[in-house]
Homo-oligomer: A and B are copies of this chain.
Amino acid sequence: MKKNKPKYNQIIEAAVEVIAENGYHASQVSKIAKKAGVADGTIYLYFKNKEDILVSVFKEKMGQFIERIAESINQKQNADEKLLTLIQMHFSQLTGDHHLAIVTQLELRQSNSELRLKINDILKPYLSVIDDIIREGTKENVFRDELNIPLVRQMIFGTLDETVTNWVMKEQKYDLLEMAPEVHRLLTHGLSDK
């Protein structure tokens, strides 16, 4: 977060609101400017172009998102607890910010492939956090040895992402957070009865 740039933050916050309320494609620069209380032209003093606003929104919000998750995880002692914490934090943060949930799960996906590549880059630190947990779990002999880390990470992230998206599309009508333990058990023990 650029500090002491009040306009910068005003615009970021305005963008999240405008996108959540109007949808990605109906979020004109002029609408964001109006909501932020600045002139259209002012946007271009702080952002290179429209895409840069969107990337920055994601960067700022994801930055906080990941930072908080990382903090929480550091206080946990083993991989299993860390994984549960990650799931809980992932769910709780999106539960706590409805606008952000809509923007990340639905609206920002409507961007073109080029923009999505940039968004993927921003996600990388989060994916690293997941990878670290997997590696740690393996070292602790809590998780299996021969795990294919990228694949496991895709299962974890894919499951969380799909779960949140379904919850957003169902208009957030149920409690996402209380599903965390079950998701955790599914990821660690799978479907099998054994």
Contact = CB atoms under 8 A, between A and B. Distances in A.
B189 A189 contact: yes
A49 interface: no
Contact of A155 (B144, B169, B187, B192): B187
Main secondary structure of the interface of A (DSSP, over half): helix
Interface in A89-112: 106-107, 109-112
A163 B166 CA distance: 18
B189 A192 contact: yes
Nearest to A192: B188
A5 B87 CA distance: 49
A162 B154 contact: yes
Contacts of A2: none
Contact of A110 (B111, B152, B183, B190): B111
12 contacts: A143-B192, A144-B193, A145-B193, A148-B179, A155-B155, A155-B183, A158-B160, A187-B191, A188-B190, A189-B192, A190-B190, A194-B194
